Structure 1
Amino acid sequence: MKIKRKIEVAVISDVHLGTFGCHAKHLVTYLNSIEPKKLVLNGDIIDIWQFSKRYFPKPHLKVIKKIMTMASDGVEVIYITGNHDEMLRKFSGTTIGNISIVNKAVLDLDGKKAWFFHGDVFDISIQNAKWLAKLGGYGYDLLTLLNRLVNWYLEKRGKERYSLSKRVKNGVKGAVKYINDYEKVISDLAIENGYDYVVCGHIHQPKMEYVENKHGKTMYLNSGDWVENFTALEYQFKRWKIYNYNKDKLAPFVTDEDFEKLETQDLIAALTIIEQHEKKSN
């Protein structure tokens, strides 16, 4: 039996299950290697934008099964919605067993406050996102709603939803400027609101650094993705680290036997469990 690494918090984001770019096998191996108290799924776990019944291979199902198994074994799973799985935002506030669905979360980590969110709401306008997010406790929720309305409008006009990839494709200089602005706005807001850590995803750029301005300082953290970087964030012994699948050594973990029995029906059950819960609640 392989010994799993015990950690306080593990954060993954931008898995994009259901797409060709997702490296689900790597992620299953990683999840099998850890034993976290909390698992934060920081958005874009299932790519509902590009979801197709024709493409959802077994390794992708294994990720869902593994997460559900971890929850049933006592791991607190916090699913933070992103833009590619924004359909789940209508279920924000729903809790099923050890799994909760939220748009953002604040955790106390050894006396320090950590602010978690996916980060897509800052795409609408980096220049305007800051003052919108300042509008009391509802500012971030307002940005989330605005983001959904923008994509709804684009779809009605027959245009593609907003996608960060388009901005990146416009040129390297533009992409670098966007990422720098994104990180600065988020860090400034975290400092102004007294958060010691701000943890996001969305831009697929793993990073961990202290940011300081005249009002104070915070630690900016980005969990990266499982499309190109294969990274996660881990918190243990009052410290954060970026886990990199390609660089950090892993003993081979055997996939659970029940994973091999997964069928398409398991996916359907996993995707509809929230809807069924909602109907029962009503």
Structure 2
Amino acid sequence: MQLRQRYKTIWLSDIHLGFKDCRADYLLDFLSKTDCETLYLVGDVVDLWALKRSLYWPSSHYEVVRALFKKASSGTRVVYIPGNHDEPLRDYVGHILGPIEIKREAIHTTVSGKRLLMFHGDCLDEHIRLSKWEHLIGDAAYDLLLFLNRWANFIRRRFGRNYWSLATYIKQRIPNARQVISVFEEAAVREAGRRGLDGVICGHIHQPALRKINGLLYCNDGDWIENCTVLGESYEGDLELLQWTEHQTLLQSMTANGGPVKADVLPLRRAS
């Protein structure tokens, strides 16, 4: 499948530079092969939580930062909306970090005139009511999933197979995890509706999606730990959700007028 290499707008989030499971190699390939007028970084670009635990900053993570600044210095408008893992940068909202704008949230107007609220998504955590023990168990389970994901893909590479997100595959089959995701998604579109907007673009939960909920557009650009996904807007106003690993896969798309959706909400496809 031939995918366009130039977009009007691109959204990236949950890169988690400084974390050992960040897939910086795939992101560098994406950044080197695509251009856009505006690039939104929707939070958790740098994982300050992970860096506090241990210093991990390989050359590929440095190269991602360098590539982002190079785009910003070469005419691409780059807007950084910090998340919870890079929360200290919220102290600089309204300022410019070199050529990069820092905002707490923003509103993007699409080619077709749709106004979409953009925030990282941790502001919706209050809607996900979990006990202290559920948080602890959830964190431990997620660490285990990433450990299994790491080794599964190590073995797949040995056999010449492409990247595949075992973590996402398992999460999609756990009812409680799916329920938490649904609560988050519905809270996100409610907030957009409350403000009189047409939809929302966010990250945070590492679950890429592009669909309508209660008549409003819900877009989650995913992450670069489990899914390696990005959201793009074409010059015609179409929205595309891509997975970018050894192969580039169009996961979901939506026309400029909001329909019809060209693909149903799909789980990330296992590489053959």
**CA distance in structure 2 between the partners assigned to 1:163 and 1:101 by the alignment:** 32
Match in the other structure for 1:76 = 77
Which runs of 5 or more residues in structure 1 are unaligned? Answer: 128-158, 251-282
Give the alignment's Cα RMSD to 1 decimal.
2.6
Match in the other structure for 1:60 = 61
User: Residue 40 of structure 1 contacts residue 80 of structure 1 at CA under 8 Å; is this kept in 2?
Assistant: yes
Cα gap change, 1:233/1:165 in structure 2, threshold over 3 Å: closer, same or farther? farther
CA shift for structure 1 position 97: 5.0
**CA distance in structure 2 between the partners assigned to 1:249 and 1:32 by the alignment:** 17
Match in the other structure for 1:166 = 139
Cα gap change, 1:95/1:163 in structure 2, threshold over 3 Å: closer, same or farther? farther
User: Residue 168 of structure 1 contacts residue 175 of structure 1 at CA under 8 Å; is this kept in 2?
Assistant: no
Which runs of 5 or more residues in structure 2 are unaligned? Answer: 143-170, 251-272
Does residue 211 (structure 1) correspond to residue 213 (structure 2)? The answer is yes
> Between Structure 1 and Structure 2, whose CA radius of gyration is higher?
1
One-letter amino acid matched to 2:22? C
Residue range with higher mean Cα deviation, 94-103 or 63-72: 94-103
Does residue 244 (structure 1) correspond to residue 204 (structure 2)? The answer is no
Match in the other structure for 1:264 = none
Cα gap change, 1:249/1:199 in structure 2, threshold over 3 Å: closer, same or farther? closer
Residue range with higher mean Cα deviation, 25-34 or 90-99: 90-99
Q: Which has the higher helix share?
A: 1
CA shift for structure 1 position 165: 5.1
State TM-score, norm by structure 2.
0.71
What aligned pairs does 1:128-147 form with structure 2 within 5 A after superposition? none
Cα gap change, 1:191/1:125 in structure 2, threshold over 3 Å: closer, same or farther? closer
Match in the other structure for 1:263 = none
User: Residue 79 of structure 1 contacts residue 101 of structure 1 at CA under 8 Å; is this kept in 2?
Assistant: yes
Of residues 189, 195, 198 in structure 1, which corresponds to 2:197?
195
Which aligned runs of 4 or more in structure 1 are off by greater than 6 angstroms?
Answer: none
**CA distance in structure 1 between the partners assigned to 2:204 and 2:141 by the alignment:** 13
- Give CA deviations for 1:30-61 in whole Å, capped at 9, x if unaligned: 01111110010000000011116742000000
One-letter amino acid matched to 1:38? T
Tell me the SS of whatever aligns to 2:48: coil
Match in the other structure for 2:30 = 30
User: Residue 12 of structure 2 contacts residue 41 of structure 2 at CA under 8 Å; is this kept in 1?
Assistant: yes
**CA distance in structure 2 between the partners assigned to 1:101 and 1:224 by the alignment:** 20
CA shift for structure 1 position 194: 2.2
Match in the other structure for 2:224 = 226
